[in-house]
Structure 1
Amino acid sequence: MDNLSLKIPLRLQRFLLGYSGTSLATGLQVILLPWIALTVVNLPALQLGWVQASVLLPNLLLLLFGGAVADRRDPAVVSALACFGLSLCHTALLLCFTLSVISLPVLLAYGICLGICSAFLQPSRDNLVQRSAHNPKGRSSERCVQTTVTWMMLAQYGGQAAGMLLASRFDQWGLEFLLGVQIAALLLSAVFLLSLRERDVSVDVVEQRPHALILDGLSQTWRRPVLRELTALMAFNGFVHIGVFLVVLPLLAEGYGRGASYYATLQLAFVAGTVTATVTMLRRGQGPEPGRGILMCLLYSAALLVAISFGPTPLGLILLCLCWGAVAAASAGLGRGIVQLLAPADYRSRIISIYQLALFGSAALGALAAGVLSEYAAPLTTLLWAGILSFVAFVLAAVSGALRRIKVPDSTA
């Protein structure tokens, strides 16, 4: 219980409130944007895909640049400005809805602006972990960073779940109210994140071209075997695991013939697993060998994918999704903790953006690959191949040994 303190320091409270507010807005956005496209604008499936891509593509294209900016400026200021930009995006959409001028071009412009602001928010917000980490007497700074990362993950999953639950009341509360909640959450998040700025920190003002900053961050990642292996493994997770989750899971839910409510139940089971795993890590810590934990999560993922490929019962699939969420949250928390510990301070935002780009950029490609494979074979076959590939990746990573050899000391002077 020593890792789950009842008294959270004020600085960490502000960080978690800011992080959970942005996550709540994201949870709302995930549901509201496609729902607006389908029910308000009545877009067909192909145009819905364009709207979804309008959010994702700018984020992926500018993520590395956003990390470079956060390394050259105070990340608290960058993240607060990004929150303010997102609130302006939602305010503009609210105005368009009020004036009844929402259309496909409006949604595309809205999605592009969301993607641009998110590209600056993600790396700068995660860079504030070190600044927010609390170091009580007798605890190592490494363990404090790990605990702060776990708190951050809990704020992320909890905020997103709350946002999704709010969005589920769309028919009762209406779009205006939910957009207002998004705007308020982001403005409050901007205030909390801005309060973490450090006025007396001198920033290196040596100017470099953006591409030079990005290449420098890539070089720093490549020089460190652990970060290099971790980034490659996260790219694999995004391509195989997230890609399969996005495409195959709804296909399986449809195959069971239980309607959209069953698919929502699977999603909630996955979220429940992420929250359970995160709370467990808060109580027990991430452990002295986080790299071994990531490898074991990869092995567990392989076993879960193979188990689902055998076609479980509807209840069995819900339970397996619960376990899948727990494994995914544990792997994500351990990976982000390692990045926070090993990334040099001057390059931290860039390395975080590289890590995120590897994970989510490959997820987009993995979703396409999973869709193609599921089109020509059964979705269960796609899951089986994903499980086999995960086992192969586990063996290769274990043989390499870079992640396996990471050790976090119990205490430091």
Structure 2
Amino acid sequence: MAARLTRFLLGYSGTALATGLQVILLPWIAVAVADLPALHLGWVQASVLLPNLVFLLFGGVLADRRDSALVAGLACLGLAACHGGLLLYFSYQIPDLSVLLVYGISLGVCTAFLQPARDNLVHRSAHRSEARAGHSGVQYTVTWMMLAQYGGQAVGMLLASRFDQWGLEILLTIQVSVLLVAAVLLFSLRRRSREVRRQRQLPFALIREGVAQAWQRPALRELIGLVAFNGFVHIGVFLVVLPLLAEDYGRGASYYATLQLAFIAGTVAATVMMLRRGQGQEPGRGILMCLLYSAALLVAISFGPTPLGLLMLCALWGAVAAASAALGRAVVQILAPEEYRSRIISIYQLALFGSAAIGALAAGVVSEYAAPLMTLRWAGVASLVAFVGLLFSGDLRRYRVESHD
């Protein structure tokens, strides 16, 4: 594996590890340390997501206009400063709601600039010599990137599980340290030449250019629409219905954490399998099949499996989600022109995360008036309908990766 790709993957896994810690630590700080009520916990969680949605497209513009490695490294330093600031504050007193809201908003802003810049480094890190059977060089790099993401998040979650033994200070120190190392690794990927992209348009005009470029490519347009559907239906259901099911099973928070780990285990297993077997030359077909498998899994879970059965189905769900994500992100990397790549990546991510937030609200409303299992069944039926519609459309299904990609 080339040294440049190794540095990219290590930097990417470092940011993912910090995210895995954050996913567990932030709500736990709000509930167990600051003793906030459930409503305030929702505000804290939203404070991380909403700035990400507002600034994500601007993050794509900045990464296209400047060196992506520089933007990603600076965003890592910003995240490290956020965690370091909370660590310093906690050494004096317990954080309250206002402090956690400022902390969450700062994390969301930094993450919005990190995501498109970091993903834009795939082409810079990939080489044709790294292609494998069933892969192009970009597909191979994206698959490794997904493994770094899922593996890093899993390690971060496992570290966060030591909260009672190690305490908040040690875990925040780990976050800061890992992000500083990730920043150095991403800085090392900067271009040697001093190429400057002289674009004088306002940010909104540049965003419109990115949207126009995505819209002009039928397969890419169809993929972004499918990603928005997946975020609304699948991620929204996962975020809301899964904890409700864990509560209905009467197994407590530990069972919910086990379900999360089963999902992560499935993502890692699927990504390793894709590294060995490749993504193939028809990723669009694979994405559509993942949609069909997701529909089947949602319907299966809606019949109320045993606790062990739900764990197994969550692992399969994670495997399908990982395969779909890897295939989709590789298609975006290949189809997006270099000068618009960060903007199109940010549009892709906005479609996913924005629809997920709305989907979580919708899943909560449906589950309020119907059983969570019925919410899953409706989600499965909707996925089947979407599969049939995309099957007849055909642009994504017919897309093939050429050997020179």
Cα deviation, 1:16-70, whole Å, max 9, x if unaligned, reads: 0000000000000001111111111110000111111111000000000000000
Match of 2:179 among 186, 199, 223: 186
Give the secondary structure class of the aligned counterpart of 1:123. Answer: helix
Are the aligned partners of 2:237 and 2:376 in contact in 1 as well (CA < 8 Å)?
Answer: yes
Q: State the Cα distance separating 1:408 from its structure 2 match.
A: 1.6
Are the aligned partners of 1:146 and 1:337 in contact in 2 as well (CA < 8 Å)?
Answer: yes
- 1:97-116 to structure 2, matched below 5 A, reads 97-116=90-109
1:267 partnered with 2:260: yes
Give the secondary structure class of the aligned counterpart of 1:331. Answer: helix
Code of the residue aligned with 1:60 in structure 2: it is: L
The separation in 1 between residues aligned to 2:128 and 2:212, in whole angstroms, is 31
TM-score, normalisation: structure 2: 0.98
User: What corresponds to 1:176 in structure 2?
Assistant: 169
Identity across aligned pairs (percent)?
73
The separation in 2 between residues aligned to 1:138 and 1:38, in whole angstroms, is 47
* CA distance 1:24–1:206, shift in 2 (3 Å): same
The separation in 2 between residues aligned to 1:267 and 1:210, in whole angstroms, is 38
- 1:5-404 to structure 2, matched below 5 A, reads 8-136=1-129, 143-404=136-397
TM-score, normalisation: structure 1: 0.96
Q: State the Cα distance separating 1:76 from its structure 2 match.
A: 0.1
The separation in 2 between residues aligned to 1:141 and 1:109, in whole angstroms, is 46
Give the secondary structure class of the aligned counterpart of 1:403. Answer: helix
Are the aligned partners of 1:28 and 1:163 in contact in 2 as well (CA < 8 Å)?
Answer: yes
The separation in 2 between residues aligned to 1:387 and 1:35, in whole angstroms, is 32
1:405 partnered with 2:398: yes
Give the secondary structure class of the aligned counterpart of 1:13. Answer: helix
Are the aligned partners of 1:269 and 1:318 in contact in 2 as well (CA < 8 Å)?
Answer: yes
Give the secondary structure class of the aligned counterpart of 2:183. Answer: helix
Are the aligned partners of 1:135 and 1:141 in contact in 2 as well (CA < 8 Å)?
Answer: no
The separation in 2 between residues aligned to 1:140 and 1:154, in whole angstroms, is 18
Q: State the Cα distance separating 1:138 from its structure 2 match.
A: 7.9
Give the secondary structure class of the aligned counterpart of 1:136. Answer: helix
Q: State the Cα distance separating 1:261 from its structure 2 match.
A: 1.3
Cα deviation, 1:269-298, whole Å, max 9, x if unaligned, reads: 100000000000000110110000000000
Give the secondary structure class of the aligned counterpart of 2:385. Answer: helix
Are the aligned partners of 2:130 and 2:137 in contact in 1 as well (CA < 8 Å)?
Answer: no
Q: State the Cα distance separating 1:142 from its structure 2 match.
A: 6.9
Are the aligned partners of 2:295 and 2:384 in contact in 1 as well (CA < 8 Å)?
Answer: yes
Are the aligned partners of 1:141 and 1:412 in contact in 2 as well (CA < 8 Å)?
Answer: no
Q: State the Cα distance separating 1:412 from its structure 2 match.
A: 3.9
The separation in 1 between residues aligned to 2:334 and 2:151, in whole angstroms, is 24
Structure 1: which 4+ aligned runs deviate by more than 2 Å?
Answer: 137-142
The separation in 2 between residues aligned to 1:250 and 1:137, in whole angstroms, is 41
Where in structure 1 are there 5+ consecutive unaligned residues?
1-7
Give the secondary structure class of the aligned counterpart of 1:102. Answer: coil
Point out the more displaced range, 108-117 or 195-204. 195-204
* CA distance 1:47–1:346, shift in 2 (3 Å): same
The separation in 2 between residues aligned to 1:85 and 1:391, in whole angstroms, is 42
Cα deviation, 1:248-287, whole Å, max 9, x if unaligned, reads: 0111111111111111111111000000000000001101
Are the aligned partners of 1:70 and 1:124 in contact in 2 as well (CA < 8 Å)?
Answer: yes
Aligned residues: 405
Q: State the Cα distance separating 1:140 from its structure 2 match.
A: 9.7
Q: State the Cα distance separating 1:206 from its structure 2 match.
A: 2.5
Once superposed, what is the RMSD of the aligned Cα atoms? 1.4
The separation in 2 between residues aligned to 1:141 and 1:394, in whole angstroms, is 24
Are the aligned partners of 1:297 and 1:327 in contact in 2 as well (CA < 8 Å)?
Answer: yes
Are the aligned partners of 1:142 and 1:341 in contact in 2 as well (CA < 8 Å)?
Answer: no
Code of the residue aligned with 2:358 in structure 1: it is: L
Cα deviation, 1:297-316, whole Å, max 9, x if unaligned, reads: 00000000000111111111
